[in-house]
Amino acid sequence: MAGIRRVVIRDAKDKDLAGLQALEARSFASDRMSRRSLRRLIGRDTACLRVATSAGRLVGYYLVLFRHNSLVARLYSIAVDRRFRGDGVGHRLLADAERAASRRGRRTLRLEVRTGNRAAIGLYERHAFMRIGGYRGYYADGADALRLEKPLAGRRRRNAARGKD
């Protein structure tokens, strides 16, 4: 867990594109995001693309997408460099994604995950995500997906719990 103290999570920048693309290639056998797509999402109001860095090296990222007039945010992708798995980076990225969605007024964070990705499913379940369904043949290689979601504590609800409006 010593790696946790050295990791910084920040908004993605254009200079991160090569690292993001390399992490995509190492993390996913199919359904990878292109450099062009990643560039297009940096700084966009309908997306939150954040990276985790350690000693100046990109070690993880997440992408949350937002639809206008929707209370649901979608965790589109999350990845952690293999050398940093088990150090809490995924946990920190996911917690940051939840906060980002909540700050934008979303009440729910939803995602899809490969049914065989037990490590990711375990992470999501430790963060109180609930299974809400699935899709057969969801991924380009024909793999099935689980759908999970988590209610987020919004500002209004937190204030209401404290007796404020």
Amino acid 154: pLDDT = 62
Residue 165 has what pLDDT? Answer: 31
pLDDT at position 29 = 81
pLDDT of 28 reads 87
How far, in Å, CA of 9 to CA of 123, rounded?
Answer: 18
Query: In 3D, which of 60, 89, 134, 6 has the Cα closest to residue 49?
Result: 60
CATH topology of domain 2-161: Aminopeptidase (3.40.630)
With a CB cutoff of 8 Å and minimum separation 6, the contacts of 44 are none
**At 25, which helix (H) or strand (E)?**
helix 17-27
Residue spans per domain, the chain: 2-161
Predicted confidence at residue 155, as pLDDT, reads 52
pLDDT in tens, the chain (165 residues): 444 458 999 999 999 999 999 999 999 888 899 999 999 999 999 999 999 999 889 999 999 999 999 999 999 999 999 998 888 999 999 999 999 999 999 999 999 999 999 999 999 999 999 999 999 999 999 999 999 999 998 654 443 343 433
Q: What pLDDT score was predicted for residue 66?
A: 97
